Amino acid sequence: MSTYPESFDHMLAGWNETEPDRIRAHLDRALTDDVVFVDPTIVTKGRDEFEANVREFRHRWPDAVCRRTSEFDAHHDLYRYNWQITRGDAVLVLGFDVVELDTAQRVRKVMGFFGPLRKLA
């Protein structure tokens, strides 16, 4: 098992930052310049597009909080973990990410999925 990358804390801090002028500083510490972010609703390429996505999220849900809700699993610079987005006591979205890091432990790619997987019938 790998150690927990600090870049994850900085990336999460970017998603949770309520001061728009401070978002980029968090992301600069977390992401590669050419980071790719994909989830069921969007694909972004590069730190500027990632930042624009975070800013749009903060605009739409200014009081939402993003949290990692599990331990992580890792191999070959790939990590996975569960997360949730809440507003007060309400859970807005559950999901998990698979994240690829570069050799400097900065986030190169985030592949997000919403909701739990259904069990086989």
Q: pLDDT tens per residue, the chain (121 residues)?
A: 578 999 999 999 999 999 999 999 999 999 999 999 999 999 999 999 999 999 999 999 999 999 999 999 999 999 999 999 999 999 999 999 999 999 999 999 999 999 988 999 8
Per-residue CA distances from 120 to 40, 95, 113, 116, 117 (Å):
22, 19, 18, 12, 9
Residues of the domain holding 105 = 6-114
CATH of the domain at 97: 3.10.450.50
Residue 94 lies in a domain: yes
Assigned domain for 108 exists = yes
- pTM metric for this prediction: 0.94
30 neighbors 7 (Cβ within 8 angstroms): yes
Report pLDDT for 89: 96
Asked whether residue 119 is assigned to any structural domain, the reply reads no
* 41 found inside a domain: yes
pLDDT of residue 17: 97
pLDDT score at 121: 87
Domain count within the chain: 1
> For residue 46, is it left (φ>0), alpha (ψ between -120 and 50) or beta?
left
Q: Is residue 120 part of a domain?
A: no
